[in-house]
Structure 1
């Protein structure tokens, strides 16, 4: 038995390998125990608090890969053994690479948690907030992996100075070429902060109108009444005048009617009262004013202004239709004729001289 333990394998006795294996298993058990104890403690703490930060910490610890414990244990064991330079170098590089990847993943989870808390606080169901949160998380993810990759390469002995210098020159060129993209990204952040509109709002921009479908990092997409999609760059939107009909509480309506010039003066004076009576009998509207305001080319013109107590466009059209039907019925009973474009030609016969 003693001879077997002293048998040399790759210049190390079996006894040393068994000792290293025991220490390896000890380190591995220690790491796993610390992870489980941390999760148990934080779970107990989470049940006593209302915030979700401790829940996040539990998830963060749970996401630590078991493989990293094995690699760290192997590296710690190797410190107490006399290994070949190549073997030691390979093991060291594997440890740095594994630790770097695990560290970047943990930082990524922490950054995503922070972004969600900042962007989605009180706006969990807001599609614009969800979109912006996703875009920011993607940017941070790429930045973390880029910087983390450089850090890992530097610790692996790679000369990253030339790479960083090259990236700096390339970054300047990319920044110059992507000024519009960066402007749109900043405009997207401005839209998120100021909230001039949200997904589902009906807006008009420089004469174009539609329902907001998507607010992205570069563009915002609308669905027009005709069904086609309208795409705006975010920088154009922040420079434009936007009318948001979704936030309308009441709708102000002004329209005109005209009656023929042959209408008797008494009936002309009677029309405003007729309009008031009609509007007072229609629910969901509030009459503001009605006036005989001008003599038109072919009609006596009245202007009627009222409010629809709903922002819904279909409700407005229903109320306007109800008013039009009532006006038609009332005018027919009173013998009042609506005017329409006509032209009267007077022909004068000249006398013989």
Structure 2
């Protein structure tokens, strides 16, 4: 049984309009609607499959893909359906050109969004790891680097879109280069500090909590910013140093010191007998061996001083903590004083003997 079409409807379907019949437009509309429905169903199917897969895996990649597909708006699918439908019609070339331009823009935008999602995933994982290690400044630096990377991605996507639209981007890039040079000269000191902060982050010569010496300044690192680093000095005040100065200076980082080498001297009177002089190194060896967290290097009768017989002691404190070192040195000093008193060894102090000739 053949389907009968009303004569008036048949006339409309056969009526040419802009080089296409009514039937062509009807088919295009059907393709448009069916394309939208199919694409939305495909989106739902992909998301459902990925969600089931995400429950079985611990990786964040599937979650990132799900987030990307959920972020694609229905207008994009409508445009794809419209593009497919229009391609079936005979329209002026300008319409096809405009649709291709819009397709390039849409695809370029969502490609940049997908790349930005990847950057967000990497940055969030690194930032969370830094926070777990209680390095908040590292987390801040990672987030800033991520934002700069995303800006770079969208700028690159913009240039690629212009290139695919037939725009000569060489002159545009040259113009941006000249403008960038002018901006770089105007912001030279700020950019130097900015890149120095990246150098500090990647090279890690120090981190918050480290005790450092920069030139004549000493202090504990409290914050590493994009332009400056803040130290808390031993006197208690905050010292702000530019990152450029830090990266161009020699830095002593005592927090990275695994053990501390200590050298000190002891002087006894010239009247001390040779037997007592020979016993002094053993006395000091015994004292240092008794103290935990130390390792003796050497004890020697070093020199004849102006008013004393000088011994040099070298030992190691097996810890970088300054307070612990001072506690150990105090303990050594008190025990040396105690043992010398028992052995009747007298420590020297500055004296002068004047001989008068008659």
| TM superposition score normalised by structure 2 | 0.71
| Displacement after TM superposition at 1:345 (Å) | 3.8
* Structure 1 residue aligned with 2:15: none
The question of 1:328 aligning with 2:337 is answered yes
Deviates more, 1:159-168 or 1:273-282: 159-168
| Displacement after TM superposition at 1:217 (Å) | 4.6
The question of 1:337 aligning with 2:346 is answered yes
The question of 1:61 aligning with 2:72 is answered no
* Structure 2 residue aligned with 1:255: 264
Deviates more, 1:333-342 or 1:319-328: 333-342
| Equivalences, count | 342
Q: State how far apart, in whole Å, the 2-side matches of 1:77 and 1:223 are.
A: 68
The question of 1:229 aligning with 2:271 is answered no
| Displacement after TM superposition at 1:73 (Å) | 5.8
* Structure 2 residue aligned with 1:291: 300
| Displacement after TM superposition at 1:202 (Å) | 2.5
SS class of match (2:119): helix
| Contact kept? 1:68, 1:102, Cα under 8 Å | no
Q: What is the CA RMSD across the aligned residues, in angstroms?
A: 4.6
| Contact kept? 2:127, 2:140, Cα under 8 Å | no
| Displacement after TM superposition at 1:170 (Å) | 0.8
| Contact kept? 1:224, 1:230, Cα under 8 Å | no
Q: State how far apart, in whole Å, the 2-side matches of 1:289 and 1:157 are.
A: 79
Residue of structure 2 aligned with 1:146, choices 144, 152, 155: 155
| Contact kept? 1:213, 1:221, Cα under 8 Å | yes
Q: State how far apart, in whole Å, the 2-side matches of 1:39 and 1:209 are.
A: 56
Q: State how far apart, in whole Å, the 2-side matches of 1:287 and 1:180 are.
A: 49
Q: State how far apart, in whole Å, the 1-side matches of 2:32 and 2:231 are.
A: 60
Q: State how far apart, in whole Å, the 2-side matches of 1:70 and 1:43 are.
A: 25
* Structure 2 residue aligned with 1:32: 40
Q: How does 1:39-78 map to 2 (within 5 A)?
A: 39-49=47-57, 51-66=59-74, 68-69=76-77
SS class of match (1:271): helix
Q: State how far apart, in whole Å, the 2-side matches of 1:212 and 1:96 are.
A: 50
Q: State how far apart, in whole Å, the 2-side matches of 1:19 and 1:223 are.
A: 75
Q: Is there any run of 5+ residues in structure 2 with no aligned partner, and where?
A: 1-5, 13-25
Q: How does 1:1-353 map to 2 (within 5 A)?
A: 27-49=35-57, 51-66=59-74, 68-69=76-77, 102-114=110-122, 125=133, 127=136, 129-149=138-158, 164-178=173-187, 181-227=190-236, 228-234=238-244, 236-346=245-355, 348=356
| TM superposition score normalised by structure 1 | 0.72
